[in-house]
Structure 1
Amino acid sequence: MSTAPLIPRLHLWEIDDQPWFPSFLRAYVQAGLTHAWTVHIPLLQPSSPATIVAETLRRVLGPSASRHTYIDFCAGAGGPTPSIERALNAQLSRAATHRVPATARSGVVDGESRAAADNTPSYAAVADPKAKSATVQDDDCQVDFVLTDLHPHVESWDAASKKSDRLSYVARPVDAANAPADLLQRYAGKGIFRLFNLAFHHFDDELARAILKNTVETSDGFGIFELQDRTPTGLLTCFAFGFFIFLIAPLLYWWSPMRLFWVYVIPVVPFVLVFDGLISCLRTRTADEVEALLRTCGANSDGWEVKSGKEQFLWPFGYLHWIICTKKST
């Protein structure tokens, strides 16, 4: 058992969750959160948090990483999941090239390796699509991702899904505590792995147990990924994020004077990102606390194994905290 944080968990409210918060400002804040997951700042970051999530899934799940369908049950406007999908499938494709005869990989492997690292197509793959297809013997190494939420963002999801054949969405509301049977049956061919990206801390204990109960009864694993925790360094990361928004907003939003207005003239967006980030720190559970909920959720969790850790995504003190729970192999 790890040492409990000095700061107790407090289930306080966040501005972005409130019905009175204007929807257009909520969209700006959510876009900022998405960029927190997907932007890679050279020298300060080894890679984006979304890429680190994909690397963590592949490392912790091992060979079973390619035997799951990944369903994001709290996708919001899309968040990091489209980027995680691209990164994980790129990494799985890269791993598959090592099983292809050298004659099929000639002239392509180096370019594809670089592409897997930064999630962009290599020159060789663009110039010779047939050569790209030769790096993967079959489609078995690729995995599907599905976006769902109690409050669907169909327009955003549709735009994201058009960029990848491996990303889809469910247009109707989906309750993570009571996943629709037809949704689960649709992806029964592979094991279902649930994703909670910057989401699990939003649930109070009662709802968290209900979600975990439904997960244990209908899924093969789940992953909780947070960009904050209940530590002084976690709180400092939130302030650092607000500072970086001021620095990089012109690069991200040069095309939208209105967004820049709400960042610089009336800085609502950075204020909400920092304020909600601090509250998120206080709401975030440790791995031990999640496991305690899992063991008391009302479902038989004896066959489930809990792993956790953290990976640095921003120098000097920004860490991605992950909890991955799966059924023990028999």
Structure 2
Amino acid sequence: MDSLPRIQFVELHDLEGTPPVLRTLHTESITTIYRLTDAAREYSRPLARALRSGAAHRIVDLCAGSGGPVPLIQRRLHAEGVHTHVTLTDLVPNVRAFERVTAGNRRRLRGSCCSVDHVPTSVDATDCRVEGTRTIYGAFHHFPPALAARMLQNAVDTRQPIVVVDTKRSFVYPVFFPFLLTLAVLVAAPFQRNPLPRYLLRLLLTYVVPVLPFMMFFDSVVSFLRMYGRAELRRIVDGLDRTESFTWTIGVEPGFTGAQYLIGIPR
């Protein structure tokens, strides 16, 4: 499947007409799935590899949604003796979610060796000026090749390391994973921590009018069809201006999540 072209389609939570609260509930569900699947175990390895290659330990997480897996990755790296400082950013930042993540990590990682903060204003991943090792987890497939190239080109132009992690192209994932992810939404909804009004809304939109399970199923199918193959990533990298000024590594981590990565480190 890696040799097949990706299909550019639209996920429901990307639509401009999707209510913000529904988008937030959806991205919070994704964050919960990261915890349930222990995605940080595999997702942390490409970042650890970049850090060992000289990337800055100041992490700038682009397209962070409702917090994403990076705080979970930070805790796993901390347990392995690797300390980082994370800044969460997004084009449309979910400031309340970022604040909850910041407070939660402060409770779990006491001291000054690790921290999480956020940028409360809009940060465009194609024109980012925040210094540090950039990460894009589970979001790169949202962008068509021209925008994806601009995000990588901005890292090259500003000479900031970048780590992109998404799911690999495989026939297995679009066939089975949407059902597993939808089941996770159904099982996890009562245990997600939200203010009471949003908690009740989550239960309503999960069990009474199953909007959230449908969104998860539909968007996960579309996501897997939009994933970049390794050959497509290589073509994008080869087409960047001054691409030779970076060392690029493309690969797949073995494991359940099928984490495919692209690492760019300034020479």
What's the TM-score bracket when you normalise by the shorter of the two chains?
Answer: 0.7 to 0.9
Say yes or no: does 1:272 pair with 2:234.
no
Shift of 1:212: 0.9
Which residue among 164, 175, 181 is the counterpart of 1:224?
A: 164
Partner Cα distance (1:321, 1:300) in 2: 20
Report if the CA contact (8 A) 1:51-1:87 is conserved: yes
- Three-state SS of the structure 2 residue aligned to 1:196 is strand
Which residue among 163, 171, 174 is the counterpart of 2:120?
A: 171
Deviations 1:263-294 (A, max 9, x none): 12211101101101111111110222112111
Partner Cα distance (2:153, 2:51) in 1: 25
State the aligned residue count.
Answer: 255
Report if the CA contact (8 A) 2:46-2:163 is conserved: no
Equivalent residue, structure 2, for 1:75: 64
Say yes or no: does 1:57 pair with 2:47.
yes
Map 1:147-296 to 2 at 5 A: 147-162=88-103, 163-164=105-106, 166-180=115-129, 183-184=130-131, 192-226=132-166, 228-235=167-174, 236-252=176-192, 256-296=199-239
Partner Cα distance (2:151, 2:51) in 1: 25
Partner Cα distance (1:323, 1:243) in 2: 30
Deviations 1:280-320 (A, max 9, x none): 1111102221121111122333542213113323xxxx423
Deviations 1:96-133 (A, max 9, x none): xxxxxxxxxxxxxxxxxxxxxxxxxxxxxxxxxxxxxx
Query: Given residue 35 of structure 1, which amino acid in structure 2 is its aligned partner?
Result: T
- Three-state SS of the structure 1 residue aligned to 2:224 is helix
Question: Higher relative contact order by CA 8 Å / sep ≥ 6: 1 or 2?
Answer: 2
Q: TM-score when scaled to structure 2? A: 0.85
Say yes or no: does 1:39 pair with 2:28.
no
Report if the CA contact (8 A) 1:205-1:293 is conserved: yes
Shift of 1:54: 1.9
Report if the CA contact (8 A) 1:291-1:306 is conserved: no
Shift of 1:64: 4.1
Partner Cα distance (2:200, 2:127) in 1: 42
Report if the CA contact (8 A) 1:57-1:65 is conserved: no
Partner Cα distance (2:159, 2:29) in 1: 31
- Three-state SS of the structure 2 residue aligned to 1:311 is coil
Equivalent residue, structure 2, for 1:144: 85
Q: Which runs of 5+ in 2 are unaligned?
A: 107-113
Equivalent residue, structure 2, for 1:95: none
- Three-state SS of the structure 2 residue aligned to 1:301 is helix
Partner Cα distance (1:303, 1:323) in 2: 12
- Three-state SS of the structure 1 residue aligned to 2:59 is strand
| 268-277 vs 288-297, which moves further | 288-297
Map 1:110-149 to 2 at 5 A: 142-149=83-90
Say yes or no: does 1:24 pair with 2:21.
yes
- Three-state SS of the structure 2 residue aligned to 1:27 is helix
Report if the CA contact (8 A) 2:46-2:263 is conserved: no
Report if the CA contact (8 A) 2:246-2:264 is conserved: no
Q: Which runs of 5+ in 1 are unaligned?
A: 41-47, 93-140, 185-191
Report if the CA contact (8 A) 1:263-1:269 is conserved: yes
Partner Cα distance (2:252, 2:85) in 1: 25
Deviations 1:233-283 (A, max 9, x none): 110212221123223333446973331221122111011011011111111
Of all paired residues, the percent bearing the same amino acid is: 26
Report if the CA contact (8 A) 1:229-1:282 is conserved: no
Equivalent residue, structure 1, for 2:109: none
Superposition RMSD on alpha carbons, in Å? 2.3
Query: Given residue 53 of structure 1, which amino acid in structure 2 is its aligned partner?
Result: Y
Deviations 1:27-54 (A, max 9, x none): 21111111111224xxxxxxx0023222
Q: TM-score when scaled to structure 1? A: 0.70
Partner Cα distance (2:42, 2:213) in 1: 24
Query: Given residue 40 of structure 2, which amino acid in structure 1 is its aligned partner?
Result: A
Report if the CA contact (8 A) 2:33-2:184 is conserved: no
Shift of 1:217: 2.0
